[in-house]
Amino acid sequence: MNNKKFIFFDIDGTLLNDEKTPLESTVQALRQLQKNGHEIAIATGRNLFLAREVIDTFQLDNYIVCNGAAGYFKHELKYENKLDLNAFEKLLQISDESGHQVVYESAHALARRHELIENNASEAMRSIEFEVPDHDVSFYQNNPLYQALLFYKEEEKAIYEDGAFPEFRFVRWHDAGVDVLPNPGSKAQTALWMAKHLGFAHEDTIAFGDGNNDYELISSVGYGVAMGNAVDPVKDVAKFVTKDCNSGGIAYALEKLGLL
């Protein structure tokens, strides 16, 4: 591949392995990309607070967090897409009536709506090493809200996903949990905006990912790479499927693409 590229990386299951740590080959590969003059960024469902350790480990200047709702370039917020508060208050009313737990997310903090946290919600959060946040029922009224976590089973999705909330997208990441995102809004939308804003042609954008929230990103950039551990829909739209996150998939693909 010729020309300088803008390359976007998911975190969990992509930059990090199943132990939630980066392989040394991944760290070295990203540092070499930077030395070679390419622009790189993370594009993650985590908020900035939860992504900070990864940002520091890889010495990144650019990051897209909250599934695209906030985009930072050279550590400055350049793009934001907040949840519609009127619609969100309607969602809270229905979630309360349905007994479904909610976690609020700003770029820098999280808080849970309910004082008592149910097992399915705590198990879902801990499955991604996500500590149960503090209780603050009014958090969303005092902080810019970029996304939320909502905990319900697949068989209950009609309550929210059958047209009641056109202002939101619901992206499942666990049997019991979904991300509530602005609609329109995605990692892809923010990544392509950032790349265009910085003068990169579409064909010079690349992305790596594995989960359902990476589908639009992998299918929308110039060259999408699915990790070997990716869900099938992501593999189906990728132009290349690399090794899994435990087997050096990042470095392997970058070498194949001639970027290292």
Residue from 155, 166, 158 nearest 88 by CA: 166
d(CA 147, CA 166): 15
This prediction has a pTM of: 0.87
Q: Into which CATH architecture does domain 85-182 fall?
A: 2-Layer Sandwich (3.30)
Where do the domains of the chain lie?
6-81+185-256, 85-182
Question: Which pair of tokens denotes residue 124?
Answer: 């879902």
Query: 6-81+185-256: which CATH number, 3.40.50.720, 3.20.20.450, 3.40.50.1000, 3.30.420.40?
Result: 3.40.50.1000
Residue type, 206: I
- Mark the ranges of the chain whose per-residue pLDDT is less than 50: none
Q: Report the pLDDT value the prediction gives residue 131, as an integer from 0 to 100.
A: 75
Q: Report the pLDDT value the prediction gives residue 121, as an integer from 0 to 100.
A: 76
Is 204 an annotated catalytic residue?
A: no
Q: Report the pLDDT value the prediction gives residue 128, as an integer from 0 to 100.
A: 66
Q: Report the pLDDT value the prediction gives residue 3, as an integer from 0 to 100.
A: 85
